[in-house]
Amino acid sequence: MTYELKKQIELKGLTKEEMGHYFETIYEKKFRADQLYHWLYTHHVTSFEEMLNIPKRLQKILETDCTLEVLKIESVHSSETTGTKKYILSTQDGKLIESVLIPDDNRTTLCISTQVGCPLDCKFCATGVMGYTRNLTSAEIIDQYYLVSRDNPGKITNIVYMGMGEPLLNFKNTHKSLKILTEAQNTRLSRHRITVSTVGIPEKIKELAESWVRVRMAFSLHSCFNELRSIIVPINDKYPLETIIPNLRYYSDKTRSRITFEYTMFKNFNDRDEDIEALKKLMSQIPSKLNLIPFNSIDHMNPKGVSKKLQATPYGRIMEFADRLRQHDLTVLIRDTQGDDISAACGQLAYEQAAKGRASFNFDEES
Ligand code: SF4
């Protein structure tokens, strides 16, 4: 068992087993991990002093060895039209990331980030335009949930790993954070309410299928044709659809869950009749549902090349597209355009705030 050796241990980044092991190394009983999890994920305490059943002597040791401080809320932007709340959070080294709380009819979903920026450069994505800085630690991933749920007690019912970054390119920390979330009883978050969204890293989809976390999987499809998908999702050149789809089928079999295909709709690009036919064929091969996503313009970020040419499919065509697929008993949802008035495209607000100089991105640094 190892934890990353740092000046202080980030307790929020430890699984229960790792926390128990830490307590053993300081000659304490393993059950202290259950107590800490309770204080952290049920009561959302911010200091060791508030952990009433932890002896003072142990509180002092924890204060020296460990830290609870990971992220800080820089600002919160609420949409007046939809109730969506976007959180800009800063890391200890001054990077900015985003988490978004999205209320829907009977659920409230938290969308969290796994990287500062993203290396994959999808042409419709504000985070892609921003470039990549570094992976988030498991504690930084968990702290997004922790901070937003403290600010909205009892509200979060679902989590999607769909914010800044490609979760499966930060596999170790993503996987660990999933373990922590599913272990933290009283978060009300069963594995069925947690979804990891990926553009498709085949071997990592398989690895996640074989791990015990068994959360739901969403795949950013956007086109059933490699030649089109590669234009807007450049990593498709490395991992074309025929390398990804069998792994998604494997994931679905192994976890007994449906794959969600995410499909952002672009006018005269992927909203044609032949796209409907291709989706029918794909969805008949794999237990799945389809999310049609109206495109949120990223024009204000001065996109270049392909990004500049992308236009949103008119809403009427999205409805017609959905209806034609539904006629074949396929499950098709149209996602609301959430929070246009607060720059809802992922990464957009963090980028804008960084550009205003509130914290600095380093576009070249890697970790
Ligand atoms: S869509 Fe996802 S994978 Fe693609 S650039 Fe944006 S954050 Fe990265």
**Residue 44 sits in the same domain as residue 79:** no
Gap from CA of 124 to ligand 1 centroid (Å) = 9
Residue 367 lies inside a defined structural domain of this protein: no
**Residue 24 sits in the same domain as residue 78:** no
**Residue 77 sits in the same domain as residue 21:** no
**Residue 136 sits in the same domain as residue 22:** no
* Cross-strand bridge partners of residue 292: 263, 334
Note the pLDDT of residue 105.
Answer: 83
Indicate the pTM of the whole model: 0.89
For residue 40, the enclosing domain spans 9-67
Buried-exposed string 35-66: b where 16+ CB fall within 10 A, e elsewhere: bbbbbbbeeebeebeebeebeeebeebbeeeb
Atom 4, ligand 1: which residue's CA is nearest? 122
Structure tokens at 322: 């959905």
**Residue 28 sits in the same domain as residue 83:** no
- Strands 108-112, 96-103: parallel, antiparallel or unpaired by DSSP? antiparallel
Mean pLDDT by 10 residues, the chain (367 residues): 67 95 95 94 92 96 95 94 92 95 91 95 86 96 95 92 96 96 74 93 97 93 98 97 98 96 96 98 97 85 84 96 97 76 51 48 29
**Residue 209 sits in the same domain as residue 311:** yes
Q: CB–CB of 254/206 below 8 Å?
A: no
**Residue 62 sits in the same domain as residue 87:** no
**Residue 82 sits in the same domain as residue 60:** no
Gap from CA of 128 to ligand 1 centroid (Å) = 6
Sign of the torsion formed by the C-alpha atoms of 293, 299, 303 and 307: positive
Residue 366 lies inside a defined structural domain of this protein: no
In terms of residues, how long is the chain?
A: 367
**Residue 107 sits in the same domain as residue 59:** no
**Residue 134 sits in the same domain as residue 63:** no
Total structural domains in the chain?
Answer: 2
- The finding on whether 166 has its CB within 6 A of some atom of ligand 1 is yes
**Residue 48 sits in the same domain as residue 168:** no
- Strands 132-135, 115-117: parallel, antiparallel or unpaired by DSSP? antiparallel
Name the domain boundary from 67, 87, 116. 67
Note the pLDDT of residue 349.
Answer: 52
**Residue 256 sits in the same domain as residue 335:** yes
Q: What is the CATH number of the domain that holds 224?
A: 3.20.20.70
CB proximity list for 202: less than 8 A, separation 6 or greater? 239, 243, 244, 247
pLDDT, the chain, mean: 89
Name the domain boundary from 48, 67, 86. 67
